[in-house]
Amino acid sequence: MASGRAPRCDHVGAMGDAPAGACRCARVVAVGYDPVMAQRPLSVGVQLPEVEWEARWSDLREMALSIEDLGFDSIWIGDHLLYHKPEGPAGPWEAWSLLAAIGAITSRVEIGPLVAATSFHSPAMLAKKATTVDEISGGRLILGLGAGWNEVEYRAFGFPFDHRASRFEEAFTIIRTLLRDGEIDFVGRFYAARDCQLIPRSRPEGPPIMIGSMGPRVLRIALPHVDLWNTWHAWHGNTPDGFAELNAKIDSAVQDAGRRPSDVGRTTALYWQFEGGRGRKQGDTDRHMAAPQTGTPAALAATLQRYAEVGAHHVQLVLDPITIDSIRSAGRALALLD
Protein backbone atom coordinates (compact mmCIF):
# COMPACT_ATOMS: atom_id res chain seq x y z
CA MET A 1 0.00 0.00 0.00
CA ALA A 2 1.01 3.63 -0.21
CA SER A 3 3.67 4.67 2.24
CA GLY A 4 5.22 7.95 3.23
CA ARG A 5 8.66 6.36 3.31
CA ALA A 6 10.77 6.80 0.18
CA PRO A 7 11.65 3.51 -1.54
CA ARG A 8 15.15 2.15 -1.83
CA CYS A 9 16.99 3.15 -4.97
CA ASP A 10 19.96 1.39 -6.59
CA HIS A 11 20.34 3.70 -9.56
CA VAL A 12 23.81 4.94 -10.35
CA GLY A 13 24.46 8.00 -8.24
CA ALA A 14 21.67 7.29 -5.76
CA MET A 15 22.44 6.06 -2.28
CA GLY A 16 20.19 4.75 0.46
CA ASP A 17 16.66 6.04 0.81
CA ALA A 18 16.07 8.30 -2.16
CA PRO A 19 14.16 11.54 -1.52
CA ALA A 20 10.89 11.92 -3.38
CA GLY A 21 11.51 12.83 -7.01
CA ALA A 22 15.24 12.02 -6.84
CA CYS A 23 14.94 9.51 -9.66
CA ARG A 24 12.23 7.91 -11.75
CA CYS A 25 12.46 4.52 -10.04
CA ALA A 26 11.64 6.17 -6.72
CA ARG A 27 8.44 7.59 -8.20
CA VAL A 28 7.49 4.33 -9.94
CA VAL A 29 7.90 2.17 -6.85
CA ALA A 30 6.11 4.75 -4.70
CA VAL A 31 3.05 4.63 -6.94
CA GLY A 32 0.68 2.26 -5.18
CA TYR A 33 2.86 0.51 -2.63
CA ASP A 34 6.29 0.35 -1.08
CA PRO A 35 7.62 -3.22 -1.17
CA VAL A 36 10.03 -2.35 1.64
CA MET A 37 7.09 -1.58 3.91
CA ALA A 38 4.38 -3.96 2.70
CA GLN A 39 4.18 -7.64 1.81
CA ARG A 40 1.59 -7.20 -0.94
CA PRO A 41 3.32 -8.07 -4.24
CA LEU A 42 1.43 -5.45 -6.26
CA SER A 43 -1.15 -2.72 -5.79
CA VAL A 44 -4.80 -3.60 -6.40
CA GLY A 45 -7.53 -1.08 -7.21
CA VAL A 46 -11.14 -1.12 -8.37
CA GLN A 47 -12.83 0.76 -11.22
CA LEU A 48 -16.18 2.24 -10.20
CA PRO A 49 -19.28 1.72 -12.38
CA GLU A 50 -19.55 3.73 -15.54
CA VAL A 51 -22.68 2.90 -17.56
CA GLU A 52 -23.39 -0.65 -16.37
CA TRP A 53 -26.20 0.83 -14.32
CA GLU A 54 -27.12 4.37 -13.34
CA ALA A 55 -25.12 4.75 -10.14
CA ARG A 56 -26.00 7.86 -8.16
CA TRP A 57 -23.47 9.74 -6.05
CA SER A 58 -24.75 7.99 -2.92
CA ASP A 59 -23.94 4.64 -4.58
CA LEU A 60 -20.49 5.74 -5.72
CA ARG A 61 -19.73 7.20 -2.32
CA GLU A 62 -20.63 3.95 -0.57
CA MET A 63 -18.52 1.94 -2.99
CA ALA A 64 -15.51 4.25 -2.65
CA LEU A 65 -15.57 4.09 1.14
CA SER A 66 -15.99 0.31 1.04
CA ILE A 67 -13.04 -0.06 -1.33
CA GLU A 68 -10.85 1.93 1.04
CA ASP A 69 -12.12 0.13 4.15
CA LEU A 70 -11.45 -3.29 2.59
CA GLY A 71 -7.79 -2.44 2.06
CA PHE A 72 -7.65 -1.86 -1.68
CA ASP A 73 -4.95 0.48 -2.90
CA SER A 74 -6.76 2.63 -5.47
CA ILE A 75 -10.04 3.78 -7.01
CA TRP A 76 -10.41 4.47 -10.73
CA ILE A 77 -12.94 6.40 -12.82
CA GLY A 78 -13.49 6.00 -16.56
CA ASP A 79 -13.29 9.29 -18.46
CA HIS A 80 -16.14 9.12 -20.95
CA LEU A 81 -19.15 11.26 -21.82
CA LEU A 82 -21.58 9.26 -23.97
CA TYR A 83 -22.00 5.80 -25.43
CA HIS A 84 -24.44 4.64 -28.07
CA LYS A 85 -25.18 1.08 -27.01
CA PRO A 86 -27.52 -1.36 -28.83
CA GLU A 87 -30.14 -0.83 -26.12
CA GLY A 88 -29.88 2.96 -26.34
CA PRO A 89 -27.66 5.88 -25.31
CA ALA A 90 -25.91 5.87 -21.94
CA GLY A 91 -23.51 8.21 -20.21
CA PRO A 92 -21.53 8.41 -16.97
CA TRP A 93 -21.00 11.31 -14.61
CA GLU A 94 -18.15 13.70 -15.40
CA ALA A 95 -14.89 12.09 -14.30
CA TRP A 96 -12.95 14.99 -12.79
CA SER A 97 -15.83 16.09 -10.60
CA LEU A 98 -16.09 12.53 -9.27
CA LEU A 99 -12.35 12.31 -8.68
CA ALA A 100 -12.42 15.52 -6.65
CA ALA A 101 -15.32 14.24 -4.56
CA ILE A 102 -13.73 10.83 -3.98
CA GLY A 103 -10.43 12.47 -3.10
CA ALA A 104 -12.23 14.53 -0.46
CA ILE A 105 -14.07 11.64 1.23
CA THR A 106 -11.20 9.13 1.26
CA SER A 107 -7.90 9.37 3.09
CA ARG A 108 -5.59 6.58 1.92
CA VAL A 109 -6.37 5.11 -1.51
CA GLU A 110 -4.85 6.51 -4.66
CA ILE A 111 -7.28 7.80 -7.27
CA GLY A 112 -7.12 8.32 -10.99
CA PRO A 113 -8.85 8.45 -14.36
CA LEU A 114 -8.64 5.23 -16.38
CA VAL A 115 -7.71 7.06 -18.53
CA ALA A 116 -8.32 10.75 -19.19
CA ALA A 117 -8.81 11.70 -22.83
CA THR A 118 -6.51 14.68 -23.38
CA SER A 119 -8.82 16.07 -26.08
CA PHE A 120 -11.81 16.58 -23.74
CA HIS A 121 -10.21 19.72 -22.25
CA SER A 122 -7.65 22.30 -23.19
CA PRO A 123 -4.31 20.80 -22.08
CA ALA A 124 -3.47 23.58 -19.64
CA MET A 125 -6.93 23.28 -18.09
CA LEU A 126 -6.46 19.52 -17.71
CA ALA A 127 -3.17 20.15 -15.89
CA LYS A 128 -5.00 22.63 -13.65
CA LYS A 129 -7.70 20.05 -12.85
CA ALA A 130 -5.07 17.40 -12.13
CA THR A 131 -3.04 19.47 -9.69
CA THR A 132 -6.25 20.62 -7.95
CA VAL A 133 -7.52 17.05 -7.49
CA ASP A 134 -4.05 16.02 -6.34
CA GLU A 135 -4.19 18.76 -3.72
CA ILE A 136 -7.70 17.84 -2.56
CA SER A 137 -6.64 14.21 -2.14
CA GLY A 138 -3.40 15.01 -0.32
CA GLY A 139 -1.14 13.90 -3.18
CA ARG A 140 -2.93 10.68 -4.13
CA LEU A 141 -3.65 11.27 -7.82
CA ILE A 142 -2.25 9.06 -10.58
CA LEU A 143 -2.83 10.93 -13.83
CA GLY A 144 -3.82 8.38 -16.46
CA LEU A 145 -3.78 9.85 -19.97
CA GLY A 146 -4.79 8.63 -23.41
CA ALA A 147 -5.67 9.88 -26.87
CA GLY A 148 -9.34 8.81 -26.79
CA TRP A 149 -11.19 6.41 -29.09
CA ASN A 150 -15.00 6.74 -28.88
CA GLU A 151 -16.04 8.90 -31.84
CA VAL A 152 -19.64 9.09 -30.60
CA GLU A 153 -18.79 11.33 -27.66
CA TYR A 154 -16.42 13.50 -29.69
CA ARG A 155 -19.13 14.22 -32.22
CA ALA A 156 -21.83 14.73 -29.58
CA PHE A 157 -19.81 17.12 -27.41
CA GLY A 158 -18.11 18.99 -30.22
CA PHE A 159 -14.53 17.77 -29.89
CA PRO A 160 -12.45 17.18 -33.05
CA PHE A 161 -11.75 13.50 -33.70
CA ASP A 162 -9.13 13.89 -36.42
CA HIS A 163 -5.35 13.82 -35.92
CA ARG A 164 -5.75 12.32 -32.45
CA ALA A 165 -2.11 11.25 -32.11
CA SER A 166 -0.85 14.65 -33.24
CA ARG A 167 -3.26 16.41 -30.90
CA PHE A 168 -2.19 14.10 -28.09
CA GLU A 169 1.49 14.91 -28.68
CA GLU A 170 0.91 18.65 -28.25
CA ALA A 171 -1.47 18.20 -25.31
CA PHE A 172 0.90 15.80 -23.56
CA THR A 173 3.77 18.26 -23.95
CA ILE A 174 1.76 21.02 -22.30
CA ILE A 175 0.30 18.86 -19.51
CA ARG A 176 3.52 17.16 -18.41
CA THR A 177 5.57 20.35 -18.63
CA LEU A 178 3.12 22.34 -16.52
CA LEU A 179 2.82 19.59 -13.90
CA ARG A 180 6.56 18.96 -13.62
CA ASP A 181 8.08 22.36 -14.35
CA GLY A 182 5.21 24.70 -13.47
CA GLU A 183 5.33 26.79 -16.63
CA ILE A 184 5.42 26.64 -20.41
CA ASP A 185 5.33 28.93 -23.44
CA PHE A 186 4.06 26.81 -26.31
CA VAL A 187 2.40 27.31 -29.68
CA GLY A 188 1.49 24.29 -31.75
CA ARG A 189 -0.74 23.39 -34.64
CA PHE A 190 -3.67 22.43 -32.39
CA TYR A 191 -2.99 23.95 -28.96
CA ALA A 192 -1.30 26.95 -27.44
CA ALA A 193 -0.29 27.84 -23.89
CA ARG A 194 1.41 31.24 -23.99
CA ASP A 195 3.42 32.29 -20.95
CA CYS A 196 1.37 29.84 -18.89
CA GLN A 197 2.13 29.16 -15.23
CA LEU A 198 0.52 26.47 -13.07
CA ILE A 199 -0.01 28.24 -9.73
CA PRO A 200 -0.42 26.84 -7.13
CA ARG A 201 0.92 23.30 -7.57
CA SER A 202 0.13 20.30 -5.40
CA ARG A 203 3.75 19.04 -5.31
CA PRO A 204 6.96 20.16 -7.00
CA GLU A 205 7.37 17.05 -9.17
CA GLY A 206 3.68 16.79 -10.04
CA PRO A 207 1.55 13.65 -9.79
CA PRO A 208 2.79 10.47 -11.48
CA ILE A 209 1.70 10.19 -15.10
CA MET A 210 0.43 6.95 -16.62
CA ILE A 211 -0.07 6.35 -20.34
CA GLY A 212 -2.91 4.05 -21.40
CA SER A 213 -2.19 3.05 -24.98
CA MET A 214 -0.90 0.38 -27.32
CA GLY A 215 -0.64 2.78 -30.26
CA PRO A 216 2.99 2.81 -31.48
CA ARG A 217 3.05 6.54 -32.11
CA VAL A 218 1.44 7.45 -28.79
CA LEU A 219 3.90 5.17 -26.99
CA ARG A 220 6.83 6.82 -28.77
CA ILE A 221 5.51 10.19 -27.60
CA ALA A 222 4.82 9.18 -24.00
CA LEU A 223 7.33 6.53 -22.94
CA PRO A 224 10.31 8.90 -22.71
CA HIS A 225 8.44 10.78 -19.96
CA VAL A 226 5.78 8.74 -18.12
CA ASP A 227 6.04 6.96 -14.78
CA LEU A 228 3.57 4.17 -15.61
CA TRP A 229 2.08 2.30 -18.56
CA ASN A 230 -1.42 0.82 -18.55
CA THR A 231 -3.10 -1.85 -20.66
CA TRP A 232 -6.78 -2.71 -20.87
CA HIS A 233 -7.56 -6.33 -20.04
CA ALA A 234 -8.69 -7.23 -23.57
CA TRP A 235 -5.37 -6.09 -25.04
CA HIS A 236 -3.62 -9.05 -23.43
CA GLY A 237 -6.51 -11.51 -23.33
CA ASN A 238 -7.07 -11.00 -19.59
CA THR A 239 -4.43 -13.64 -18.75
CA PRO A 240 -1.04 -13.44 -17.00
CA ASP A 241 0.69 -15.11 -19.97
CA GLY A 242 -0.84 -12.61 -22.35
CA PHE A 243 0.26 -9.76 -20.11
CA ALA A 244 3.81 -11.16 -19.97
CA GLU A 245 3.98 -11.25 -23.77
CA LEU A 246 2.68 -7.69 -24.08
CA ASN A 247 4.91 -6.49 -21.26
CA ALA A 248 7.98 -7.75 -23.12
CA LYS A 249 7.01 -5.56 -26.07
CA ILE A 250 6.74 -2.58 -23.74
CA ASP A 251 10.21 -3.38 -22.38
CA SER A 252 11.54 -3.02 -25.91
CA ALA A 253 9.57 0.16 -26.52
CA VAL A 254 10.89 1.69 -23.29
CA GLN A 255 14.45 0.83 -24.31
CA ASP A 256 13.84 2.34 -27.74
CA ALA A 257 12.78 5.50 -25.89
CA GLY A 258 16.21 5.63 -24.22
CA ARG A 259 15.16 4.39 -20.80
CA ARG A 260 15.53 1.23 -18.76
CA PRO A 261 12.50 -1.07 -18.51
CA SER A 262 12.50 -0.56 -14.72
CA ASP A 263 11.97 3.16 -15.23
CA VAL A 264 8.32 2.65 -16.25
CA GLY A 265 5.95 0.84 -13.89
CA ARG A 266 3.45 -1.58 -15.44
CA THR A 267 -0.28 -1.58 -14.74
CA THR A 268 -3.22 -3.46 -16.18
CA ALA A 269 -6.97 -3.69 -15.89
CA LEU A 270 -8.26 -7.17 -14.98
CA TYR A 271 -11.79 -8.39 -15.67
CA TRP A 272 -13.27 -10.45 -12.80
CA GLN A 273 -16.74 -11.96 -12.75
CA PHE A 274 -18.76 -12.98 -9.70
CA GLU A 275 -22.21 -14.39 -9.08
CA GLY A 276 -24.82 -12.44 -11.01
CA GLY A 277 -22.38 -11.22 -13.64
CA ARG A 278 -23.70 -11.16 -17.17
CA GLY A 279 -20.86 -9.47 -18.98
CA ARG A 280 -19.65 -5.96 -18.26
CA LYS A 281 -19.74 -4.26 -21.63
CA GLN A 282 -18.42 -0.71 -21.69
CA GLY A 283 -18.77 1.46 -24.74
CA ASP A 284 -20.23 0.64 -28.12
CA THR A 285 -17.85 -2.02 -29.38
CA ASP A 286 -16.95 -5.56 -28.37
CA ARG A 287 -13.24 -4.89 -28.85
CA HIS A 288 -12.95 -3.77 -25.23
CA MET A 289 -13.84 -7.05 -23.52
CA ALA A 290 -12.22 -10.44 -22.95
CA ALA A 291 -13.28 -13.60 -21.14
CA PRO A 292 -13.54 -12.82 -17.40
CA GLN A 293 -11.43 -14.40 -14.68
CA THR A 294 -13.54 -16.41 -12.23
CA GLY A 295 -12.92 -18.76 -9.32
CA THR A 296 -12.52 -18.96 -5.59
CA PRO A 297 -10.86 -16.16 -3.61
CA ALA A 298 -7.74 -18.35 -3.36
CA ALA A 299 -7.67 -18.85 -7.14
CA LEU A 300 -8.10 -15.14 -7.83
CA ALA A 301 -5.39 -14.28 -5.29
CA ALA A 302 -3.08 -16.75 -7.07
CA THR A 303 -3.84 -14.98 -10.35
CA LEU A 304 -2.83 -11.65 -8.82
CA GLN A 305 0.39 -13.24 -7.58
CA ARG A 306 1.09 -14.50 -11.08
CA TYR A 307 0.56 -11.03 -12.56
CA ALA A 308 3.09 -9.67 -10.07
CA GLU A 309 5.58 -12.35 -11.08
CA VAL A 310 5.36 -11.39 -14.75
CA GLY A 311 5.89 -7.70 -14.08
CA ALA A 312 2.64 -5.98 -13.04
CA HIS A 313 3.04 -3.33 -10.35
CA HIS A 314 -0.60 -2.23 -10.12
CA VAL A 315 -3.89 -3.71 -11.35
CA GLN A 316 -7.33 -2.16 -11.73
CA LEU A 317 -10.17 -4.62 -11.19
CA VAL A 318 -13.13 -4.35 -13.57
CA LEU A 319 -15.83 -6.24 -11.66
CA ASP A 320 -18.93 -7.90 -13.09
CA PRO A 321 -21.36 -7.10 -11.64
CA ILE A 322 -19.96 -3.89 -10.18
CA THR A 323 -21.75 -3.89 -6.83
CA ILE A 324 -20.89 -3.70 -3.15
CA ASP A 325 -21.21 -7.49 -2.94
CA SER A 326 -18.71 -7.96 -5.78
CA ILE A 327 -16.31 -5.50 -4.17
CA ARG A 328 -16.51 -7.53 -0.96
CA SER A 329 -15.93 -10.75 -2.89
CA ALA A 330 -12.84 -9.24 -4.50
CA GLY A 331 -11.77 -8.09 -1.06
CA ARG A 332 -11.66 -11.72 0.11
CA ALA A 333 -9.14 -12.49 -2.63
CA LEU A 334 -7.17 -9.39 -1.68
CA ALA A 335 -6.97 -10.53 1.95
CA LEU A 336 -5.36 -13.80 0.84
CA LEU A 337 -2.77 -11.91 -1.20
CA ASP A 338 -1.29 -10.09 1.82
- pLDDT of res. 321: 96
- pLDDT of res. 38: 59
User: Around Cβ 296, how many Cβ atoms within 10 Å?
Assistant: 11
pLDDT tens column, 30-49: 444 343 345 899 999 999 99
Gap between the Cα atoms of 113 and 47, Å rounded: 9
- pLDDT of res. 1: 35
β-bridge partners, 145: 116, 211
Dihedral pair phi/psi, residue 228, rounded to 5°: -140, 150
Q: Is the predicted pLDDT of residue 237 greater than 60, yes or no?
A: yes
pLDDT-derived band at 289, boundaries 50, 70, 90: confident
Does an H or E element contain 314, and which? strand 314-320
Q: Domain limits of the chain? A: 1-39, 43-337
Report the SS3 class of residue 46.
Answer: strand
Gap between the Cα atoms of 29 and 311, Å rounded: 12
- pLDDT of res. 155: 96
pLDDT-derived band at 103, boundaries 50, 70, 90: very high
CATH superfamily of 43-337: Luciferase-like domain (3.20.20.30)
What is the pLDDT of the chain when averaged over all its residues?
A: 89
Residues counted in the chain: 338
Average pLDDT over residues 88-113: 97
Q: Find, among 141, 90, 143, the residue nearest to 115 by Cα.
A: 143
Q: Is the predicted pLDDT of residue 211 greater than 50, yes or no?
A: yes
Q: Find, among 73, 140, 144, the residue nearest to 315 by Cα.
A: 73
The alpha-helical segments, DSSP class H, found in the chain are: 24-30, 57-69, 95-105, 123-136, 151-157, 164-181, 216-222, 240-256, 297-309, 324-337
- pLDDT of res. 86: 86
Q: Is the predicted pLDDT of residue 285 greater than 60, yes or no?
A: no
- pLDDT of res. 338: 87
Dihedral pair phi/psi, residue 104, rounded to 5°: -80, -30
Gap between the Cα atoms of 131 and 260, Å rounded: 28
pLDDT tens column, 68-78: 999 999 999 99
pTM above 0.85, yes or no: yes
Angle between helices 297-309 and 324-337 (to 10 degrees): 60
- pLDDT of res. 335: 97
